[in-house]
Amino acid sequence: MSNQLYNDRQVEAIGKEFKRRLTTGEAEGPTVVVALVSMVKAGKLDASHMQKILNTLYADKVKILAVLIEAQQFLGPDVVDSIINEVRTSFH
């Protein structure tokens, strides 16, 4: 199994699919965050990919931070704190 990162087209498709699932109620924000973190840990996405997808899904720093805080119950505080810090620094 290769740990090659997804390409930009694949990252965009993942974002669109998660957006569709959130819109239709098939998924909730924390579930999407857990899936994204899993993809990062598997070496398929990097932090910038995750940020791009979160921006596609929420387009608002406050909403992104809220869903990350919600996801903390599934991921643990250290993982989410790291992501929150990345989100905060990406919005100048």
- The token pair at 41 is 């840990």
Q: Which residues contact 6 (CB under 8 A, 6 or more apart)?
A: 14, 39, 44, 45, 49
pLDDT in tens, 22-57: 999 999 999 999 899 888 888 899 989 999 999 999
Predicted pLDDT of residue 55: 92
Predicted pLDDT of residue 5: 93
Residue-range domain boundaries for the chain: 8-90
Average pLDDT taken over every residue of the chain = 86
